[in-house]
Structures are given as C-alpha cells and as structure tokens.
Amino acid sequence: MSDASLLNDPDFRVPGASRGLFDVFRHRYLLTLLLKKGVATRYHGSVLGWVWSYVRPGAQFLMYYLVIGVILQADHGMQFFPVYLFAGIVAVNLFSETLRNTTNAVVDNASLIKKIYLPRELFPVAATGVALVHFLPQAALLLIVALLCGWTIGWLQIVAFVAGTIIIVLFALGLGLFFGAINVAYRDARNFVDLILMFSTWASPVLYVWNLVYDRAPLWLYHVYMSNPITGAVELFHDAFWLPLEPSMPRPDNFLTYVLIGLAVSLVTLVIGQLVFRKMEGSFAQSL
C-alpha cells in the first residue's frame, strides 16, 4: 500500500498524533490503570489509609465551625448552619483537589512520559478521577449529616448536586490542563494554583452568605461574583443539602442564569486549557 493510500485510510494514525481529550475515550483501559494507580498510591504507607478522606474534611469543618459559628457567632441566623458550612466545604474541597491533582499530573508521571507515548491528556483526566473517588466519602459524610438533621431526598436535590459537581470538575479540569502544561516548563505555575486555591474558599459563599456580597459590593462586582463557576456550584450544593432544611431562607434572584453562565465559563476554560495543553505537549518529554 502506498504512503498516499495509508494517509487516506481512516484507520491509519500518525504515531504520536493526538486528538486531545477525545483520545481519552479510545484508551479507556489505560485510563483505568492510571486511575487505579492513583487511588492505590494516594495513601500508600499510611496507617489510617482511607480514614483520612473522612478525617480531613471533618477537621476542616470543625475548625471553621468553631471560629465562624461559635466564636464569631456569624451563623447568619441559620438553624442548620453546620450543614450549610459543610456543603460549601465539600464543594470547594473537590475543586481544590481536582485542580491540584491535574496541575501536577504530567510532572508526577515524568518517568512514564519520557519512556513511551500515550495521550498526555490521560494523566490529568485520571487525576480528576482520583479526586472524584476521594470526593465520594466526603459527599457521603455530608449526606449522613443532612439526613440526621431531617433532610429528605428529592429529584431537584439530585439534579442540583450532579450539576454542581459537573461544573466544578469541568472548571477545575480546564484550569488543570492549562496550568499543568505550563507547569512542565515553569514550576511557578503551581504557585499560581496555590494562590487560586487560597482565595477559592473566600471567593465563594462557603463561610458566609451571598447576601453580604449583594448588600455591600457594587452591582457589577456582584454579577461577576455570582458568575464565578465555584460560586454557582457551592450554591447548588446548598440547594441540594441545606435548603430543604431551611426552605424559607432567601435565594439569589436569577440564580439559574448565573449557573448557566458559570457552566459556560467552565466549558470555555476547558477548551482554552485543552488548546494550551495540545500546543505545549510536544515538548513535555524534553522539558521533564
């Protein structure tokens, strides 16, 4: 067969050619292996192991609740402020772990990348999967707390929870692809990520209510604040777990519009991250 016919053959692919995130679906077996490796090595050599997935968010919640809810008494008149607080913490923790994992995914697998070729996007996607696996115990703990407080399940709560999770994962993966590619050549990228994560808890209604921003910030800044994907996701988690317990509490006007804007921002971030990742992935092996 001639070279020309080979190139026209739909089953022929140039070695090393990548189709971006679409290649992840073609290499599901490799993705499964990387996911199992990431989960298995997460707490390798640890005595408590998976218990840390419950201890860390529990300790984080206790610290914030004692300071915000007990010492400062800034519970905003909520009877179920612990559920409100814990729901926001779980949402932000998913964003933090996904972004941190994806940013370091390529560098952490340097030895493998330098030896063989496989779609580089497999590493950040697998890192996202690992973050989701370790998010489940936190979500289960949040569910148990909500049930003990009298929460009842409904389809709206399920939709809100799933939508919030999707927005967080898309946004964090997009940022992770962007900073993960830059991190290969410039290790300063992880410092930028640390700054983002430092502000993420305070740039969304986790420790306070959205009304404070509405009452004290300029209207344009409030719109920017509500269009932040993490703000929308945190509020969706509140709608899923806390609002059924306190349905009389006020909610943001045009909230669905803000959620759709946040979803659009997440998708645009994912596209930009993928484009930057594909542009730089050719030099990964040389830079690592």
Q: Cα(206)–Cα(200) distance, rounded to whole angstroms? A: 9
pLDDT per residue of the chain (288 residues) written in tens, 0 to 9: 555 554 455 444 544 556 667 777 787 788 888 888 887 776 666 655 667 777 777 788 888 888 888 888 877 778 899 999 999 999 999 999 999 999 998 888 888 887 777 788 888 999 999 999 889 888 988 999 899 888 888 899 999 999 999 999 999 999 999 999 998 888 778 888 989 998 888 899 998 999 999 999 999 999 999 999 999 999 999 999 999 999 888 889 999 999 999 999 999 999 999 999 988 887 777 766
Q: Residue 60: what are its φ and ψ, rounded to 5°?
A: -65, -45
Rounded to two decimals, the pTM is: 0.88
